[in-house]
Amino acid sequence: MENRLHHLDLLRGSMMFLGVLVHSSYADYGTESLDIIRFISDSFRMACFFVISGYFSAMIYEKQGTVNFYANRMPLLLIPALFCTTLLVPITNHWMHLYFSNYDSSALFISGWMGHTWFLYVLLLYTLVTPIIVIGLRMVSDTQGQGPSGNILLATLFILIVFGSIASLKILHKFGHLLPLYETFDLLLSATFIYLPYFVLGIYMRLNYHLFNFAHKYRNFWLPLAIGLIIYRYSLADLQLTNTVQHIFAMSVDYVTAIAISFALFSLTSHYLKKPNSTIRLLSDSSYTVYILHFIVIAAVLLFTQKIHLPISIRFSAAAVIATFAGVLIHILLVRRYWIIKLILNGRKPLQWPFVNTPESKSDLRSPH
């Protein structure tokens, strides 16, 4: 399976670049003119990202062991997250609020204190439990084997995790207000429950070669299924959910759709991307830098293009292109050359942390480095 990792690196980086398009789409002030971009992204982007992150988390844990896994991965995620949420997110949110209010004084740009880096904090929580998940899945797999009975048991376990996440989310939304600081951390808690099944699926994909092959071999099955499901999901977009059964059904459709699209992407990229070229490698390497920096650039471009009264389509295109190129250039000119910039934006340390072995790896928990 190791010879296929470059396609997972590319996909994970692509999910970050797709995020640039999603945030640029707020050029429409959150109205429906560019809503199709947000709908398509919501159908699979972060789900696919967390499946891949789960896969690489399990791989790195197996290679490094518990102590090194925690010591290396926590700073890797925490340093860029803190830099972004303390410096970039407040400015970005302020500029986006101005952009929205210039259009309509009652319009609101809704973003929490974590901004677009919420996924890093979710990954931090997942990192804490990765060894437990790996050990638990391995115990089940070793007990039942990787034959039909073992696979059925683990599939049942995964379904239970999905419905457990849905139930936990419902309970959180109903009783969360009773928890201290709930309003501060509600997005983090909700996202943690929503994306946990995908992360667990990625871990199991690493541990079970049958699942890995199942996700990669059947592109002629996964692609039409993914297209059909996303069309069906779109048909449900305007459905008014009035009871618990409808909510559970809608979220189940979301999970099935996201997994089908992710598997379609795995199978397509593993088939057609036999080995990476320099352009693909650059895009994969720079994707994390681009994602950390892109939203503040987008906010600045949107404000400027709004002041000179450019059409929304031009604002969207300009924001996406400028934010992407700016991020790639910063990665080439600064991140690659200066260790302090690499540490702040990518969490990559120049030297080993004291008392910790840091074996080199081509993949980490976030986007490709």
**Model pLDDT for residues 47-93, shown as the tens digit of each residue:** 999 999 999 999 999 999 999 999 889 989 999 999 999 999 999 99
| pLDDT for res 350 | 61
CA distances to 112, 160, 214, 344, 348 from 341, rounded to whole Å, are 25, 43, 40, 5, 9
pLDDT at 351: 53
DSSP state string for 71-120: HHHHHHHHHHHHHIIIIIHHHHHHHHHHHHHHH-TT------TTGGGHHH
Predicted pLDDT of residue 206: 94
Do 38 and 316 contact (CB within 8 A), yes or no?
Answer: no
Asked whether the predicted pLDDT for residue 368 surpasses 50, the reply is no
* Residue 275, pLDDT score: 78
pTM of the model: 0.90
Give the separation between CA 60 and CA 64, rounded to whole angstroms.
Answer: 6
- Cα–Cα–Cα angle for 282, 286, 292, rounded to 5 degrees: 170
Q: Quick one: tokens of 109?
A: 């740009």
Is the pLDDT higher at 179 or at 258?
Answer: 258
Q: Which of 70-74, 142-146, 268-272, 352-356 has the lowest mean pLDDT?
A: 352-356
pLDDT score at 274: 76
Determine the length of the chain. Answer: 369
Q: Which of 76, 81, 193, 187 is nearest to 127 (CA)?
A: 76
**pLDDT at 361 exceeding the cut of 90:** no
SS3 label, residue 329: helix
Region 310-320: what's the mean pLDDT?
Answer: 97
pLDDT digits (tens, 9 = 90+) for 208-251: 888 999 999 999 999 999 999 999 999 988 888 788 888 889 99
Looking at residue 240, its pLDDT comes to: 83
What mean pLDDT comes out for the span 248-272?
A: 94
* Average model confidence (pLDDT) across the chain: 89
Most confident of 69-73, 111-115, 244-248, 259-263: 259-263
Convert 314-344 to b/e letters by CB count within 10 Å (16 or more is b): ebbbbbbebbbebbbebbeeebeeeeebbbb
User: What is the rounded distance in angstroms from the CA atom of residue 118 to the CA atom of residue 79?
Assistant: 13
Q: Are 115 and 85 in contact (CB under 8 A)?
A: yes
Estimate to the nearest angstrom the gap between the alpha carbon of 305 and the chain centroid: 29
pLDDT at 227: 97
Contacts 24+ apart (CB under 8 A), 157-161: 158/197, 158/200, 158/201, 158/204, 161/196, 161/197, 161/200
For range 115-128, the mean pLDDT:
96
Give the C-alpha separation, 163 to 169, whole Å.
10
Q: Are 127 and 365 in contact (CB under 8 A)?
A: yes
Whether the per-residue pLDDT at 365 is higher than 80: the answer is: no
Find the range with the poorest average confidence among 51-55, 60-64, 332-336, 354-358.
354-358
pLDDT one-digit tens code per residue, 153-211: 778 888 999 999 999 998 998 899 898 888 899 999 999 999 999 999 999 999 988 89
Contacts of 301 (CB under 8 A, 6+ apart): 315, 318, 319, 322, 323
The helix or strand, by DSSP H or E, that contains position 289, with its residue range, turns out to be helix 278-307
- Cα 227 to the center of its chain, rounded Å: 21
User: Smallest Cα–Cα separation from 68: which of 20, 131, 150?
Assistant: 131
